[in-house]
Amino acid sequence: MIQREEYFDPIEKEEQNSEFIAIERKSFVRDVWERFKSNRRALTGLIVLGIIMIITLLGPILSPYSYDGMGTSINSKVSLTHWFGTDALGRDLFIRVLYGIRISLTIGFVTTLINIVLGILYGGIAGYVGGKTDMAMMRIVDVMYAVPSLLYIILLMLIFGSNIGSIMLGMCVSGWIGVARLMRSQVITLKEREFALAAYTQGAGAGRILFRHLFTNAMGPIVVSATLAVPQAIFMEAFLSFIGMGISAPQASLGTLAQSARMYMSIYPNQMICPIAMICLIIFALNFIGEGLDEALNPKGSR
Amino acid sequence: MEKEKPVVSVRHLKKYFVANRHVFGATDYVKAIDDVSFDIMPGETVGLVGESGCGKSTLARTIIRIYEPGEGEIIYKNTDIAHLSNRKMRAYRNKMQMIFQDPYASLNPRLTVAEIIAEPMEIYNMYTKKEREEKVQELLEQVGLKPDHITRYPHEFSGGQRQRIGIARTLALDPDFIICDEPISALDVSIQAQIINLLEKIQDEKKLSYLFIAHDLTMVRHISHKIGVMYLGHLVEFGEAEEVYKNPLHPYTQALISAAPVADPVLSRTQERIKLEGEVPSPIHTPSGCPFSPRCPECRPECRIDPPVVANVNGHKVACYKYV
Amino acid sequence: MPLLEIKNLSVQFQTRHGIVNAVRDVNFSLEKGELLGIVGESGSGKSVGMLAVMGLLAGNGRITEGEIWFNGRNISPVAEEFKNDPKGYDRYMKQIRGKDLSMIFQDPMTYLNPVLKIGTQITEGIIKHEKCSKQEAKKRAIALMQQVGIPSAEERFSQYPFEFSGGMRQRIVIAIALSCNPKLIIADEPTTALDVTVQAQIIDLLKAIVKEQDTSIIMITHDLGVVAKMCNSVNIMYAGKVVEHGTIDDIFYRPQHPYTKGLLNSVKTHDSTKRQSLSSIPGTPPDLLKLNTGCAFMPRCREAMKICKDYLPEAASFGEEQYASCWHYCKEHADRIVSKQSERMMSEEVS
């Protein structure tokens, strides 16, 4: 506190500090993370997904059973020795579900990753170059998109057999188109923004503008749509397996597990419920994460 | 003394945008810039004023080759850069820089201040990494920001501070010509003067040339040595700043100056305003003859037929039939 | 009795970064037929204060205290009458908004509905508030359009907003504001988005309206030139407070507060042949999240004293109408002010 006699002395320059910045220093990533953290549903989704992933990684190593090892107890109920019971061939369901989750998550994440990379490159180039190139590139995409993706998957399975590879490949044939369209529209609006023009007038090349300036700012909606694409891919695979077009035995995805349990549904409901519950859990978790990211990346009224 | 050569001269520059392509035959054009010529001398500021849609920002963006120029020449020192390929243009980009209007849109929100200012030097492979860091510090100091601001992100700054970061970025390449596209119109009044002072200080130190664009005549008058007035893509008047302000020749300039509000109650009570009818017409359907003729209080029959030639009244150029 | 009297108005916003006191203890009054300018920079609270009067604050903002006496009634949501009756407050505000109290915004395009005909938008208010027939409303709307200077009003009555130019749109917004003969029009930067020549036309129009009708206007602007041209008196706002008030002659020729002086100096024009730097106010506008307890202008003030940092000055009068809040003019009351504020701070700390 100041003394009475110095009330009217001129103030020191340091005390004034007129270029003072009040907001706390924060990078974009940290800012997003903090907003994400404060969203309880999103955080729950992330934790649930994390736990599932850890269990699927460690479970098979620690478990006494293997996914194709048949045992003597057939169609056993849920018990301490077999947490999810066993199937008609005496295989431990818990371990099979874990392997199923592995396959589902791999398909989900790998296809999404490939789709993002392809989509960003294609859409980025089309949007940035513009004009006739853009026109031609987007018409090609329209044609590819006109064929249902199910058809691509079936065709590829005929050629390469029914395994994870051909399912993933099939999902990638036209899966990246959504990302490409999103990236293109983002690039088209962002490239007219003044910071992109500024980089251009500084002599920056197309690559630098596209990746350092446009992509970093377009990332938000793309990341969101990608996180929401993962559960879609998982669901697609489960659906394919369920109608009998998925992974072949003895491997099993969550969809094939549910498919083979269909016959005993009324007698041994645990065989059906366990894999389906896992699908639901994973899809819920991923959707919550996607929603949370959406809110964190596109806050309504940031200040 | 030897006569100085202009840094930039613009000769009969045109820029038309396609507005509407009819299925058969004709195409409608927006004549954003129509036959504009002027010179900018070393160490000089040319102010460009006009209302929205007059083509002043398009002119700026065409000179710096964001837009492809149409007919005409843009001569930088001795080279016509109007139609250089992008690759050849690169050799001139570092000499011409631009400060943008919106300090919120002109800085990439994902980069730190240090990254923003260092980027042009990175592009041109200037200095080592360490030297670049030093240069960034130096530039920040020059524009009145603190060294500890470099790790901050643009959104943490106020508008005036951001504009100063933008200025530091343009200075990184040591240009000799900077286009200022309405750099102060988005800022608060008390901050505008700061930016103008900063720009003048830098000009005095580095002998830079500015093309300063604004819609507000009073600030332009202060910073500029010469003023150009644009209307519907045409440069209707060009001359020494004080001359244009105190003794405007073109009826449009006269109306513009008389309409500008003065921060002085007594003056503005006595101020005689030249009343203009209507608003700026659409640049697609420009009037034949003088672009200003439909609103001009002194319009004559010949004004509506052919566009006026530029008359030179004691070095003060004006495109109006009154002076032919 | 003044038309509008505001006492101790404070407005608070809840943001992610903390509480922002956008308007802090504002007092002023407005007589019938007066043209009051409110001048301030971004974040000075000039718009927020008026939105609060209109009852149009955004969801995260609220009036924490204060009285707003309009036309003899306290229309503050924290007034006795409305304190426990937010629905009643909304109902009452809906009744007077657009009738006795109307507003003109900066960007006419966000105010006008792009898919409705101009005529529909003008008559809407008339039909709602005056309870007259469609025919009658149309007649009045066309008269209004003529009054605000829209040529061939009858034809343009059934056109859409996009068929009008920027200046014409603003005229339509003014016509809507005028439609029910309001007692007070609040104009929030109505000319900022317009070109200079059009701006002059709109200013003339607003001045004519005040002269012809029994209306008062509060003009929110950052442009001192606009104020000089059309207002009778001015409030200068800084960081949510009215730092100086006076008639335009007081403010422009006898400014007292260092901020007002700085503001006027920075728009003073100089001859460009004599190159001299403009006098500017150093530093940046205040961050309302982190204000010191004292005068908010202290960090940028050239005449700042030690006391300015911790204690708020009180308003000192100059002549009939003018007053300014600066420590330079209330030095003799320093002991009383300091002890009062310390007491309050102590009691706040305790609670």
pLDDT digits (tens, 9 = 90+) for C77-116: 998 888 888 899 999 999 899 889 999 988 888 888 989 9
pLDDT digits (tens, 9 = 90+) for B101-120: 888 899 998 899 999 999 99
Find out whether the peptide bond into A250 is cis, omega within 30 degrees of 0: yes
Q: Tell me if chain A has a CB within 8 Å of the CB of B161.
A: yes
**Chain B residues closer than 8 Å to A198 by CB:** 98, 100, 106-107, 166, 169
Neighboring chains of C (3 or more beta-carbon pairs < 8 A): A, B
Whole-structure pTM over 0.90, yes or no? Answer: no
Query: pLDDT tier at A138 (50, 70, 90 boundaries)?
Result: very high
Query: pLDDT tier at C275 (50, 70, 90 boundaries)?
Result: low
Average pLDDT over chain C, rounded to an integer: 88
Please indicate whether, in this complex, the C-beta atoms of A21 and B156 are within 8 angstroms of each other.
Answer: yes
With respect to residue B152, please indicate whether it lies within any of the assigned structural domains: no
Q: Best residue in C152, C171, C196 to probe B by mutation, most B CBs within 10 Å?
A: C196
For residue A72, pLDDT over 80 is answered with no
Best CA proximity match to A164, nearest among A231, A89, A227, A234 = A234
**Chain A residues closer than 8 Å to B169 by CB:** 198, 202
Residue B324 pLDDT:
77
State the average pLDDT over residues C301-310: 87
With respect to residue B130, please indicate whether it lies within any of the assigned structural domains: no
Q: Tell me if chain B has a CB within 8 Å of the CB of C3.
A: no
For residue C337, pLDDT over 50 is answered with yes
**Chain C residues closer than 8 Å to A303 by CB:** 15-17
Q: Tell me if chain B has a CB within 8 Å of the CB of C267.
A: yes
With respect to residue B217, please indicate whether it lies within any of the assigned structural domains: yes
Greater confidence (C195 vs A87) lies with: C195
Write down how long chain B is.
Answer: 324
Q: What are phi and psi of A84, to 5 degrees?
A: -110, 10
Best CA proximity match to B59, nearest among B44, B45, B74 = B74
Q: Which of A72-76, B31-35, B308-312 has the lowest mean pLDDT?
A: A72-76
pLDDT digits (tens, 9 = 90+) for C201-222: 889 889 998 888 889 999 999 8
Q: Tell me if chain A has a CB within 8 Å of the CB of B87.
A: no
State the average pLDDT over residues A15-43: 77
Please indicate whether, in this complex, the C-beta atoms of A197 and B124 are within 8 angstroms of each other.
Answer: no
Cα four-point dihedral sign B195, B196, B198, B202: positive
User: CA-CA distance, C310 to C291, in Å (whole number)?
Assistant: 10
**Chain B residues closer than 8 Å to C272 by CB:** 221-225, 241-242, 245
Residue A299 pLDDT:
66
The percentage of residues in chain C with a pLDDT greater than 70, rounded to a whole number, is: 98
Residue B263 pLDDT:
82
- Write the DSSP assignment of chain A as a string of letters: ---GGGTTSBPPHHHH-TT---SPP--HHHHHHHHHHT-HHHHHHHHHHHHHHHHHHHHHHH-S--TT---S--SPPS-SSSTT-B-TT--BHHHHHHHHHHHHHHHHHHHHHHHHHHHHHHHHHHHHH-HHHHHHHHHHHHHHHHS-HHHHHHHHHHHH-SSHHHHHHHHHHHHHHHHHHHHHHHHHHHTTSHHHHHHHHTT--HHHIIIIIIIHHHHHHHHHHHHHHHHHHHHHHHHHHHTT-SPPTTS--HHHHHHHHGGGTTT-HHHHHHHHHHHHHHHHHHHHHHHHHHHHHS-SS--
Q: What are phi and psi of B32, to 5 degrees?
A: -70, -40
Element at C6 (helix H, strand E) = strand C4-15
Say which of B52, B190, B201 has its CB closest to residue C262.
B190
**Chain A residues closer than 8 Å to C300 by CB:** 16, 18
Neighboring chains of B (3 or more beta-carbon pairs < 8 A): A, C
Q: What angle do CA C211, C214, C215 make, to 5 degrees?
A: 85
Residue with tokens 């630098």: A208
Strand partners, C103: C186
Query: pLDDT tier at B249 (50, 70, 90 boundaries)?
Result: very high
Within 10 Å of residue C159's Cβ, how many Cβ atoms?
A: 14
**Chain B residues closer than 8 Å to C228 by CB:** 261-265, 267-268
Q: What tokens were used for C182?
A: 């309001």
- Chains A, C: CB contacts under 8 A, how many? 63
Structural domain range at position B46: 8-95+175-323
**Chain C residues closer than 8 Å to A6 by CB:** 306
For residue A7, pLDDT over 80 is answered with no
User: CA-CA distance, B227 to A115, in Å (whole number)?
Assistant: 54
Query: pLDDT tier at B228 (50, 70, 90 boundaries)?
Result: very high
CB A86 within 8 A of CB A93: yes
Element at B159 (helix H, strand E) = helix B159-171
CB C283 within 8 A of CB A19: yes
With respect to residue B231, please indicate whether it lies within any of the assigned structural domains: yes
Say which of B66, B90, B169 has its CB closest to residue A203.
B90
Please indicate whether, in this complex, the C-beta atoms of A11 and C309 are within 8 angstroms of each other.
Answer: yes
State the average pLDDT over residues C233-260: 94
Please indicate whether, in this complex, the C-beta atoms of A28 and B109 are within 8 angstroms of each other.
Answer: yes
The count of C-alpha atoms lying within 13 angstroms of the C-alpha of B58, restricted to the half-sphere facing its C-beta, is 27
With respect to residue B207, please indicate whether it lies within any of the assigned structural domains: yes
Residue with tokens 């169609």: A75
Nearest-CA residue of chain A relative to B88? A203
* B201 three-class SS: helix
Query: pLDDT tier at A1 (50, 70, 90 boundaries)?
Result: low
With respect to residue B226, please indicate whether it lies within any of the assigned structural domains: yes
* C81 three-class SS: helix
Starting at the earlier edge strand, list the strands of the sheet with C233-238.
Answer: C101-104, C184-188, C216-221, C35-39, C233-238, C241-247, C322-325, C315-318
The CATH number that applies at residue B42 is 3.40.50.300
Smallest CA–CA separation between A300 and chain B, in Å? 16
Average pLDDT over chain B, rounded to an integer: 88
ipTM of the complex as predicted: 0.87
Please indicate whether, in this complex, the C-beta atoms of B98 and A198 are within 8 angstroms of each other.
Answer: yes
Please indicate whether, in this complex, the C-beta atoms of C280 and B159 are within 8 angstroms of each other.
Answer: no
The percentage of residues in chain A with a pLDDT greater than 70, rounded to a whole number, is: 91
With respect to residue B257, please indicate whether it lies within any of the assigned structural domains: yes
State the average pLDDT over residues B153-172: 91
Q: Given CATH 1.10.3720.10, say whether it is the number of domain A41-64+86-297.
A: yes
Count of the separate structural domains present in chain B: 1
Residue C245 pLDDT:
95
The count of C-alpha atoms lying within 13 angstroms of the C-alpha of C131, restricted to the half-sphere facing its C-beta, is 1
With respect to residue B144, please indicate whether it lies within any of the assigned structural domains: no
